[in-house]
Amino acid sequence: MPIVSEISIVSIPSGDHHSQSIDNFLQSLRDSRCIFYASDILNIIDEGNFNQKDIQQATDRLLQVFNTLHISSENHVYEVFRSTPGYTYKDWKLSRLACLYLLLKGDPTDLSTIAQQQNTLLDHILNDFSQNKYNSFLREK
């Protein structure tokens, strides 16, 4: 397995020490929640048949779903740069919730479509959990 490294680009506004400490804490909290990579999820779903454009499109759709549902994506999705020997690429770190919404298909701005797919997705997840298919994937790494 190739060695993969990550660089997170984050800007912290200058201000007083307390504000910066709080910002650092919130960033650490977000980082602890966002433990999955969009490319890894797509690799599982598409069995490796995806490219950088597919990752971008899937993430754009994910952000549209968050916007439609009025959920702040700030704590669920953030951009990182990963590298393998000789190649650096853009990826996104995702929370568990973002992973689930990444799987949604259809119009990401239509509430009824999202609601229907949420129900379908939850049915599959609950059935698969009862069969222990995804337990190891969704556990903390």
Per-residue pLDDT tens over the stretch 92-135: 999 988 988 888 777 888 888 888 888 887 787 777 666 665 55
Rounded-to-integer distance, Cα 126 and Cα 101, Å: 16
Residues forming a β-bridge with 16: none
DSSP-derived letter for residue 82 is E
Percent of the chain with pLDDT strictly greater than 70 = 76
pTM: 0.66
User: 3-class SS at 8?
Assistant: strand
pLDDT, average across residues 16-35: 73
For 27-46, what is each residue's pLDDT tens digit?
A: 777 677 888 999 888 888 77
Rounded-to-integer distance, Cα 73 and Cα 37, Å: 15
Within 10 angstroms of residue 42's Cβ, the number of other Cβ atoms is 21
pLDDT over 80 (residue 78): yes
